[in-house]
């Protein structure tokens, strides 16, 4: 079990995460619980639970976002046959327009991973599954991306590519999605050490 804290420009995140079989990706498992706070586009608290099965493939993600006078919940699950289900609810008024929570699972049916917005934790699954800490070619993905704090779920095309190894066994992986590119540093367990523009481990 790892206790991880990331400091962000306008917030922070803590996760208790358990990862296994990093050297054997076919049997790799990851589960975590976490809490994040942020201030953009409004102050919010985020609580989540994540469970990934063999190969670090998402089984389910449960998220609750809340702020002054409002809260939202999301249950995102992937069955063994590859079908996703989405359950979402919203209560109260956040005081500014936000997209509705949830989304159409058909739009990201081919995804193996969820990607919780602004969370360094969910970058670990695709990197571990494809052994990118040690090298390899660029890999393209479709993700079930969860926007925060509104908890809308959208299809997101992303790619990861090994760049280089650094001291102490750290690996630099290039992340690309649309026009956004970042060289993300991972530790030997596959957790983000530094993600430019997102956060860094404390």
With a cut of 80, say whether residue 158 has pLDDT above it. Answer: yes
**Ranges assigned E (strand) in the chain:** 2-8, 11-20, 29-38, 44-52, 58-67, 70-78, 84-92, 113-116, 139-146, 153-165, 171-177, 180-186, 192-195, 199-201
pLDDT for position 156: 98
Question: What are the pLDDT digits (tens) for 55-108?
Answer: 999 999 999 999 999 999 999 999 999 999 999 999 999 999 999 999 999 999
pLDDT at 26 over 70: no
pLDDT at 93: 95
Say if CB 105 and CB 86 are below 8 A apart.
yes
Is the pLDDT at 13 greater than 80? The verdict is yes
Overall pTM surpassing 0.85 (yes/no): yes
Return the SS3 of 105: helix
Distance spanning both ends of the chain, measured CA to CA: 17
- The average confidence (pLDDT) of the chain is 96
Nearest of 87, 68, 65 to residue 76 by alpha carbon: 87
Task: Report whether pLDDT(49) > 80.
Answer: yes
Which residue is associated with the tokens 């599954």?
A: 129
Bridge-based pairing state of the strands 44-52 and 58-67: antiparallel
Q: Is the pLDDT of residue 174 over 90?
A: yes
Question: Is the model's pLDDT at 139 over the cut of 80?
Answer: yes
Cβ count near 27 (within 10 Å) = 12
Other CB atoms within 10 Å distance of the CB of residue 20: 13
């Amino acid at each position: 079990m790892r206790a991880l804290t990331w400091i962000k420009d306008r917030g922070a995140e803590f996760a208790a995460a358990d990862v296994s079989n990093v050297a054997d990706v076919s049997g790799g498992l990851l589960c975590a619980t976490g809490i994040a706070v942020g201030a953009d586009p409004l102050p919010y608290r985020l609580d989540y639970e994540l469970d990934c099965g063999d190969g670090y493939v998402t089984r389910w993600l449960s998220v609750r976002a809340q702020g002054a006078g409002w809260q939202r919940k999301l249950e995102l699950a992937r069955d063994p046959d590859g079908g996703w289900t989405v359950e979402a609810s919203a209560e109260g008024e956040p005081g500014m327009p936000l997209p509705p929570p949830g989304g159409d699972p058909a739009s990201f049916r081919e995804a193996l991973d969820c990607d919780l917005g602004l969370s360094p934790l969910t970058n670990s699954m695709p990197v571990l599954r494809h052994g990118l800490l040690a090298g390899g070619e660029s890999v393209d993905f479709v993700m079930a991306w969860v926007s925060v704090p509104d908890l809308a779920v959208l299809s997101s095309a992303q790619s990861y590519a090994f760049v280089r190894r650094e001291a102490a066994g750290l690996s630099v992986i290039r992340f690309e999605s649309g026009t956004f590119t970042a060289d993300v540093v991972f530790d030997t367990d596959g957790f983000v050490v530094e993600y430019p523009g997102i956060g860094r481990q404390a």
